[in-house]
Structure 1
């Protein structure tokens, strides 16, 4: 790939890899029998480690792509068309996130289950996009260095102070809002600290945009990613322990004992390095289509696996019941099925939307026609009801 290309194919390939790893991760984690979850088993332990890489990569790539598109256009601030599109996209992801947790049977009974208010990946990515837009609008017309500095600063602050704010219950907020900040009610993800991966992705995209025409872009980016990733994985914990011993600040010790954020960030840098090294092989049409269809794939996998709307998903019937052979073969089939359905949907997306619009238009016309037919009857009933009430009031008065 040429360094001045406006399309970063390796990013699309990373996003495709991340969504496929998310599918198999959710499938295996949800359906594998607990008896086979042995951390002393090298295969399972390796799978578990790589499963933990998926979400950080997905959030980072999402922040990278959105920021890359945001700053690529010449307009600044509110004049930037990507701002409006981003706000619409962020709100759309929030809406879809809630819809996927809706249970129609509960609604028919006049009840909204507590799980509806839990926060998941789509909620956090939607809010992350809105957060990046907020940082952009605040900083873009000030100093040119302020936007990338704030993006990097948000990541560092969120990751550094995670041991501090993760103990907060946020009990002063309604549960629906508290779920964005605490896992105590059952949320899978929270906006803090996960926004930090999106902002570091945005920071990296700014660097790529500024140096996109440099012939040394990829050699420097690859070597830097390997170096930074290795330091974060192998040395960041010891560095925080040494900071604690030197300063006596308990926060650094708390990070040392649960240093997953910085280590996972190191994993993200190494994944970036691998995909940049292999970037010349990342322009396969199918891979790029998968990378561009992550939302459709995610929605379909959620419906099939967790039973959105009906509760009748694979998780309900096969929850923690499969052996390794069945769960691995099932995960492969599950990835193929969800990807095929998503690509098929995207191919006919406009046709499907047009048909849905026609159905709603037909329903609207039928409703209007039914109202017009019923209007004289309703008018007659109204007059009779009015006459009846006047007689009742007259009788009571006398």
Structure 2
């Protein structure tokens, strides 16, 4: 494997770990029988806790790597070619998020099901990238404001989550309200998850500033461990103290449901672990997985939830499997999805060319029929119009 000096391999390894955690998490959560969801069982509790780490890590790493690449060159603002690429990528993620929820059978009967409009992780990551780009462009003239804005947004979104999470946004069309509330069934909402992306973006700016320092990794690891452990074990106590001292209800609400800051602590600890063992994370397959997370996500979604046709593993095995089947099944599921996705990445150029060629051929074959249908429709419309005008004249006379 050829080493690239600017490539942060531990980030790719983190992305690979996060996508594998997401795959097994969705598989187990969707197919495990309710009878085995016992919170008094140590093994289930450990799995449940680590499953909760996956999304925060994924959002934070996405913000980190995107911003690290965005700010790497000398060009700024819209003159930076990565701005256009980032906008395209963000919109692409939102579009794919909707396509994965599309049901072709519904389209055949002229119906789009309500699940199509629900917001999932791809929608929120896509919008998060667009949000980071907006902040980057707006602070072009005063670059020092960019990291300040990123950190401020993270803190504000996390602190005020108990307030805005209660808003139903009934004044918005449901399609747009789904980005801000889970009331209609959305899995993720842009707030507070944008906060993890902006936190990752902030961390990337700090890392990029000191990446050539002699002791950058020892200092980064120590800092991540300290801050991570502090947030994990001490943030609740801080908010309890603030609530008791200031009598502000918001601090009490955070204390009773302090999942955002605790999960941020988990994320920093994961960063520390992967930076600590970064020298052992240069396996080419592992890194390729980290660079192919979108393809892996799409493949897993189609197999598990049955995108497009509505028939997947979830359709047949919904909450029906025992742990003896779930555990080897989850391993097989991760291997299958990863293998198929990597094969797609390997032959992506040929596959895309074949699809484009097939579409062009299909368009050529359908063109005479489309012309005939258009002419027939046009003639029919003219006859209906003439008949209506004739009838109108007769009634008028």
TM (norm. structure 2) is: 0.94
Aligned residues: 395
2: CA distance, partners of 1:76 / 1:258: 40
2: CA distance, partners of 1:109 / 1:128: 34
Write out per-residue CA displacement over residues 263-311 of structure 1, whole angstroms, 9 at most, x where no aligned residue: 0000000000000000001111000110011001101111110111111
| Alpha-carbon offset, residue 25 of structure 1 | 0.3
What residue is the counterpart of 1:267 in the other structure?
266
In structure 2, the CA distance between the partners of 1:276 and 1:395, relative to structure 1 (3 Å rule), is closer
1: CA distance, partners of 2:388 / 2:190: 60
1: CA distance, partners of 2:62 / 2:136: 16
In structure 2, the CA distance between the partners of 1:145 and 1:379, relative to structure 1 (3 Å rule), is closer
1: CA distance, partners of 2:163 / 2:260: 14
Asked if the contact 1:119–1:188 (Cα under 8 Å) also holds between the matched residues in 2, the reply is yes
Q: Does 1:169 align with 2:159?
A: no
Write out per-residue CA displacement over residues 159-217 of structure 1, whole angstroms, 9 at most, x where no aligned residue: 00000111111111111111101111110000000000000000010011111110111
1: CA distance, partners of 2:135 / 2:14: 25
What residue is the counterpart of 2:204 in the other structure?
205
What residue is the counterpart of 1:72 in the other structure?
72
Point out where structure 2 has 5 or more consecutive residues left out of the alignment.
none
What residue is the counterpart of 2:49 in the other structure?
49
1: CA distance, partners of 2:79 / 2:392: 66
Q: Name which of structure 1's ranges 105-114 and 126-135 shifts more when overlaid on structure 2.
A: 105-114
What residue is the counterpart of 2:59 in the other structure?
59
In structure 2, the CA distance between the partners of 1:394 and 1:246, relative to structure 1 (3 Å rule), is closer
Asked if the contact 1:76–1:141 (Cα under 8 Å) also holds between the matched residues in 2, the reply is no
Write out per-residue CA displacement over residues 358-385 of structure 1, whole angstroms, 9 at most, x where no aligned residue: 112112322345567x59x869978x96
Write out per-residue CA displacement over residues 314-339 of structure 1, whole angstroms, 9 at most, x where no aligned residue: 11110111000100110000000000
What residue is the counterpart of 1:345 in the other structure?
344
| Alpha-carbon offset, residue 395 of structure 1 | 11
What residue is the counterpart of 2:293 in the other structure?
294
| Alpha-carbon offset, residue 246 of structure 1 | 1.1
Point out where structure 1 has 5 or more consecutive residues left out of the alignment.
none
> How is 1:238-257 mapped onto 2 (pairs within 5 angstroms)?
238-257=237-256
SS, match of residue 183 in structure 1: coil
In structure 2, the CA distance between the partners of 1:380 and 1:324, relative to structure 1 (3 Å rule), is closer
In structure 2, the CA distance between the partners of 1:243 and 1:391, relative to structure 1 (3 Å rule), is closer
1: CA distance, partners of 2:180 / 2:146: 24
SS, match of residue 235 in structure 1: helix
Asked if the contact 1:4–1:212 (Cα under 8 Å) also holds between the matched residues in 2, the reply is no
> How is 1:271-282 mapped onto 2 (pairs within 5 angstroms)?
271-282=270-281
1: CA distance, partners of 2:161 / 2:24: 28
What residue is the counterpart of 1:184 in the other structure?
183
2: CA distance, partners of 1:57 / 1:161: 21
| Alpha-carbon offset, residue 141 of structure 1 | 1.8
> How is 1:21-60 mapped onto 2 (pairs within 5 angstroms)?
21-60=21-60
What residue is the counterpart of 2:12 in the other structure?
12
| Alpha-carbon offset, residue 245 of structure 1 | 1.0
What residue is the counterpart of 2:135 in the other structure?
135
Asked if the contact 1:103–1:112 (Cα under 8 Å) also holds between the matched residues in 2, the reply is yes
2: CA distance, partners of 1:86 / 1:156: 24
In structure 2, the CA distance between the partners of 1:224 and 1:104, relative to structure 1 (3 Å rule), is same
| Alpha-carbon offset, residue 392 of structure 1 | 6.5
2: CA distance, partners of 1:164 / 1:345: 44
| Alpha-carbon offset, residue 69 of structure 1 | 0.7
What residue is the counterpart of 1:97 in the other structure?
97
In structure 2, the CA distance between the partners of 1:391 and 1:25, relative to structure 1 (3 Å rule), is closer
Q: Does 1:146 align with 2:152?
A: no
Write out per-residue CA displacement over residues 99-154 of structure 1, whole angstroms, 9 at most, x where no aligned residue: 11111111112111111110000000000000000110111221x32100101111
In structure 2, the CA distance between the partners of 1:249 and 1:363, relative to structure 1 (3 Å rule), is same
In structure 2, the CA distance between the partners of 1:217 and 1:367, relative to structure 1 (3 Å rule), is same
2: CA distance, partners of 1:359 / 1:255: 55
What residue is the counterpart of 2:282 in the other structure?
283
